[in-house]
Structure 1
Amino acid sequence: METIGSKISKIRKQKGMTQEELSDLSKINLRTLQRIEKDENEPRGNTLKQICDVLKINIEEIVDFGKREDRSYLIFLHLSILLNLIIPLGNIILPLILWLNKKDTIIDVNNQGKNILNFQILFSLVNNLILIIGVYGKISHSYIFPYFIQIYFLLLILNILYSVYVAYNINKKEIVNYYPNPIKFVK
């Protein structure tokens, strides 16, 4: 699990700030900030608020107040995309429901849920477009029908296998991020 110090360091670097800049803007001693980022100290109260204000983030993004760890829920969240085999767009509907239900109470559900939803929305758009092209090819008596249908099922199988792979790794206590997705439908 990511610590408060590592989260602050990561966000600071993403914003292109140096430790000196963050300490000056937040009116915190540089050495104190260095200790926080090295997890030698944990920021409290006003110090944490000042850092978050300068980084323009909510305190909740750094500190997991009242959240608990539940790997079985994360596994279920990843395997929920299998509903696509029974219900069209089930790979989006069930993960969305699960994510909305527990994103604020279980550690890492918010991040993993957003990653799953972003990828599954893009996957559904691409895979359904492939299916439509394949069906259109069948209607127009084109030779492309079998190829597009094969691509459709191949992508479907790869999607399922990857979800099982991620769930297996979470079970082994390893967090695996979902596919990187350049398009963010859920932020």
Structure 2
Amino acid sequence: MSQELLAEEAKVNLRTIQRIENNESEPRGKTLNLICDALKVNVEDIVEYGKKTDQTFLVVLHLSVLSFLVIPLGNILIPLILWVNKKDKIIGLKEAGANLLNFQIFWCIVTYCLFIGYAFLKIMHISGFTILIYSAMFLVLINIILSVLFAIISRKKMSKNLYPTIVKLIK
């Protein structure tokens, strides 16, 4: 892309683009956002103010999901606490954590609805819906497998979006 085209698409002065390219100046907030929008790049991918890579923390984040086996809603609460404390300090954690939390929220809603539905039908002495409890247990198993699998993948390489994005509540 030419400097002229970039300046036009970013709605900034051509001289500003030239100064940035020649390292005569650094783009500030709004200018940087406009240039990144024009280039269709995320600002975080370019600017890493004090951020570091930490594969071990990503592994811990993925494995923290398993806390749901001991703590109700632990698969949301523990990763949320970890994510909020470090999302601006570790490269890729903001997206990976948001992706993980969105999946876990959706997973909780579906799984708990199946458990509650089964319990309600059992209390009402309505039979024939054991598929609900088997489906819920299958989802529990899937969540355990995905957590361990994604922890292993995160250990080997940096990957932001491992969990399937079904509902995007956290950005």
Bin of the TM-score, shorter chain as denominator length? 0.7 to 0.9
Runs of 4+ in 1 over 6 A off after TM superposition: none
Q: TM-score, normalized by length of structure 2?
A: 0.80
Are the aligned partners of 1:48 and 1:59 in contact in 2 as well (CA < 8 Å)? no
Question: Please, which of 13, 21, 25 is the counterpart of residue 27 of structure 1?
Answer: 13
Change (3 A) 1:155 1:59: closer
Question: Please, which of 64, 72, 92 is the counterpart of residue 80 of structure 1?
Answer: 64
Are the aligned partners of 1:166 and 1:176 in contact in 2 as well (CA < 8 Å)? no
Question: Please, which of 89, 92, 98 is the counterpart of residue 76 of structure 2?
Answer: 92
Alignment of 1:1-187 (within 5 A): 22-24=6-8, 25-28=11-14, 45-46=26-27, 50-53=31-34, 55=37, 59-60=43-44, 62-175=46-159, 177-187=161-171
| Number of residue equivalences | 163
Are the aligned partners of 2:61 and 2:79 in contact in 1 as well (CA < 8 Å)? yes
Are the aligned partners of 1:74 and 1:109 in contact in 2 as well (CA < 8 Å)? yes
Q: Which moved more, 1:154-163 or 1:170-179?
A: 170-179
CA offset digits 1:159-187 (Å, max 9, x no partner): 11011111111122252623332422212
CA offset digits 1:123-174 (Å, max 9, x no partner): 1011111111111111122224421111001001101101111111112225
Are the aligned partners of 1:70 and 1:106 in contact in 2 as well (CA < 8 Å)? yes
Change (3 A) 1:60 1:168: closer
SS at match of 2:27: helix
User: Unmatched 5+ residue regions in structure 1?
Assistant: 1-8, 10-18
Q: Which amino acid aligns with 1:46?
A: P
| Counterpart-to-counterpart distance in 2, 1:130 and 1:71 | 34
TM-align CA RMSD: 3.2
The structural deviation recorded for 1:51 is 4.2
Q: Which amino acid aligns with 1:103?
A: K
Are the aligned partners of 2:55 and 2:158 in contact in 1 as well (CA < 8 Å)? no
User: Unmatched 5+ residue regions in structure 2?
Assistant: none
Q: TM-score, normalized by length of structure 1?
A: 0.74
> Percent of counterpart pairs with the same letter?
39
Change (3 A) 1:43 1:71: farther
Are the aligned partners of 1:130 and 1:152 in contact in 2 as well (CA < 8 Å)? yes
Are the aligned partners of 2:96 and 2:159 in contact in 1 as well (CA < 8 Å)? no
Are the aligned partners of 1:75 and 1:167 in contact in 2 as well (CA < 8 Å)? yes
| Counterpart-to-counterpart distance in 2, 1:51 and 1:174 | 25
| Counterpart-to-counterpart distance in 1, 2:24 and 2:111 | 46
